[in-house]
Amino acid sequence: MKTYQFPEGFMWGGATAANQMEGGFYEGNKGLNIADVLPGGKERLDILQTPGFNFEIDREKYGYYPNHEGIDFYHRYKEDIALFAEMGFKVFRMSIAWTRIFPNGNELEANEEGLAFYDRVFDELHKHGIEPVVTISHYEMPVTLVKEYGGWRNREVVTFFERYVKAIFNRYKNKVKYWMTFNEINSGLIMPIMGLGFAIQKEEDKYQPTFQAYHHQFVASSIAVKACHEIIPDAKIGCMILYAPAYSYDSNPENVMYALQEERFFNYFCADVQVRGEYPAFIKRYFKEHNIELDIRDGDLELIKEGTVDYIGFSYYMSRTEMKDKSGFGSSEGNLIGGVKNPFLKASDWGWEIDPTGLRISLNQLYDRYQVPLFVVENGLGARDHVEEDGSINDDYRIDYLRDHIKAMGEAIEDGVELMGYTSWGCIDMVSMSTGEFSKRYGFIYVDKHDDGSGTLERKRKKSFFWYKEVIETNGEKL
């Protein structure tokens, strides 16, 4: 069997987000964030896909709110980090919950209890020789900024964000050297609630506010990049995009053109601004055709030009297959990005099409276009696991999935792609982002917690735990 050479110092690890794992919902003076007001299950998917959400907690209507407890990482971080260390993690990707540091987002002073919590987590990671990779904003905007300011549509939010990033850069400058600004920044194009902090009220009203909110995020991202370079000169800061290569369903040039447009609009719009430092021509044409006029203030474009990122972090779960006229073709449900079913691919239990070659394609496309280091910061298989009577969990399907994707990275490295590392998503089971389920598991570590909120929270090593340990030990040679 072919073996792959991963570069020395390749950053193997796992990825998580505060809102999906911490719990500790009201502890340490934490404020409410967007994930806290989303119920679990089908209701969440409906909320994310239908206009009009009001960002209120309504227990009578929805019942259980899974993110409030998460998997209790807030209290169990030592045990969990010890397990990551046992697997040999070099890095651990996590996010800081904005509302632990600024509970409502608009305070003048940071919350010491929140700052101290992450000090403890970073110290524990370093004690085990694990480098933290920190996402500054992972679907965790303070609800106060959503309700009282209208989310990222409001320019004032840039000021609040600047205060937040400067507080964390100053506090953790000796502890964190790898940062990312906004998780899956382009997801706001399909799911503005999570990324942009507002719910559209009617489908046709989304264009102007969406792109105005994006402009504010680009300005904020550049402010963060510049501040990071000034405060922590030896740090690297990246953007983070949701990448899903768009294939044309067939060789009909109309479909090929359509897939190209979809790809540019969804995959490249944000990265073009954050990596190249300017709005691309295709989006300017789109603005014109949709009568979108952005409020761009003096100095914004210069700032965007100066504050470009050092690397591209991206999530890869699946490709998408596109055609201009989709009527009569089954749609693919995956990761909320749509497209039609690809006849060559199988799908996960949640309908996400499994396509390891798509990862090699993505890496090559991104590197061809931008020529900056890449970092696969999310990839994995959401699946139902079964605990055997003897307590073992034989998740061979997950091992197969990960092996094939790691091989695809090995091929891309041989193609000449500069790849910094790989943090598979959900290294420990936690709440699913899109459906709020615990039963959609990604981890090497099983957590006894279920969709109805029951469970002991006990952690168990799955078969994939021992497999991934060996992958890291051999720097990807033994797959």
Take residue 211 and report the two structure tokens written for it.
């792109």
Residue 242 Cβ, how far from ligand BG6 at the closest point, in Å?
Answer: 6
Which of these segments, 79-87, 223-231, 255-263, 429-437, binds ligand BG6 (CB under 6 A)?
429-437
Pick from 83, 90, 81, 78: nearest CA to 471:
90
For the bound state, the minimum distance from the C-beta of residue 336 to ligand BG6, rounded and expressed in Å, comes to 8
Binding ligand BG6 (rule: CB under 6 A), the pick from 76, 93, 360, 440 is: 440
Query: Known catalytic residue: 322?
Result: no
Three-class DSSP category at 460? strand
Taking residues 296 to 315 in sequence order and writing x for each that binds ligand BG6 by CB under 6 A, - otherwise, the string is -------------------x
433 touching ligand BG6, by CB under 6 A: yes
Which residue sits closest to ligand BG6, CB atoms considered?
A: 434
CB of residue 435 vs ligand BG6: minimum separation in angstroms?
A: 6
Residue number, 184 or 395, with CB nearest to ligand BG6: 184
Q: Is 378 among the residues that bind ligand BG6 (CB under 6 A)?
A: yes
Select 222 or 435, whichever has its Cβ closest to ligand BG6: 435
Give whichever of 279 and 350 is closer to ligand BG6, judged by the CB atom: 350
d(CA 292, CA 273): 17
Q: Is residue 183 a contact residue for ligand BG6 (CB under 6 A)?
A: yes
Q: Given phi > 0 = left and psi -120 to 50 = alpha, else beta, which region is 17?
A: beta
The span from the CA of 43 to the CA of 46, in Å, is 5
Considering beta carbons, is residue 87 or 433 the nearer one to ligand BG6? 433
Pattern 18-57, ligand BG6, x by CB under 6 A: --x-------------------------------------
Buried b / exposed e along 70-82 (16+ C-beta atoms within 10 A): bbbbbebbeebbe
Torsion of CA 470, 376, 437, 47, to 10 degrees: 180
Note whether 184 binds ligand BG6 by CB under 6 A: yes
**What's the per-residue H, E or C state across 92-134?**
EEEECCHHHHCCCCCCCCCCHHHHHHHHHHHHHHHHCCCEEEE
Return the amino acid letter for 453: G
Which CB sits closer to ligand BG6, 80 or 378? 378
Give the residue with the Cβ less far from ligand BG6, 303 or 430.
430
> Which among 69, 124, 131, 184 is annotated as catalytic?
184
Residue 140 φ/ψ region, left for φ over 0, alpha for ψ in the -120 to 50 degree band, beta for the rest: alpha
| 446 makes contact with ligand BG6 (CB under 6 A) | no
Note whether 434 binds ligand BG6 by CB under 6 A.
yes
The gap from C-alpha 324 to its chain's centroid, in whole angstroms, comes to 28
Lay out the site mask for ligand BG6 across 314-333 (x = CB under 6 A, - = otherwise): -x------------------
Q: Determine if 432 is a binding residue for ligand BG6 (CB under 6 A).
A: yes
Q: Which range binds ligand BG6 by CB under 6 A, 29-37, 282-290, 292-300, 433-441?
A: 433-441
Each residue of 43-62: b (16+ CB within 10 Å) or e?
Answer: bbeebbeeeebebeeeeeeb
- The catalytic residue among 124, 140, 353, 378 is 378
Residue range at the interface with ligand BG6 (CB under 6 A); choices 157-165, 223-231, 288-296, 430-438: 430-438
135 or 210: whose CB is closer to ligand BG6?
Answer: 135
266 near ligand BG6 (CB under 6 A): no
Applying CB under 6 A, the site for ligand BG6 has a residue count of 14
Site for ligand BG6 in 225-244 (CB under 6 A): 242
The one-letter amino acid code at 318 reads: M
Q: Which is nearer to ligand BG6, 124 or 378 (CB)?
A: 378
Question: Coil, strand or helix: which one is 314?
Answer: strand
Which of 6, 10, 11, 17 binds ligand BG6 (CB under 6 A)? It is: 17
- Is 155 within 8 Å of 217 (Cβ atoms)? no
Name the nearest CA neighbour of 155 among 90, 220, 85, 201: 220
- Token reading at 41: 């299950």
Q: Is 348 in the site for ligand BG6 (CB under 6 A)?
A: no
CB of 101 to ligand BG6, least distance (A): 19
φ/ψ of 194, rounded to 5, equals -75, -50
CB atoms within 10 A of CB 450: 12
Report d(CA 143, CA 464) in Å as an integer.
37
Annotated catalytic, 69?
Answer: no
Q: Which residue has the tokens 């309700």?
A: 147
Residue numbers at the binding site for ligand BG6 (CB under 6 A): 17, 20, 183-184, 242, 315, 378, 382, 425, 432-435, 440
Question: Which residues have a catalytic role annotated?
Answer: 184, 378
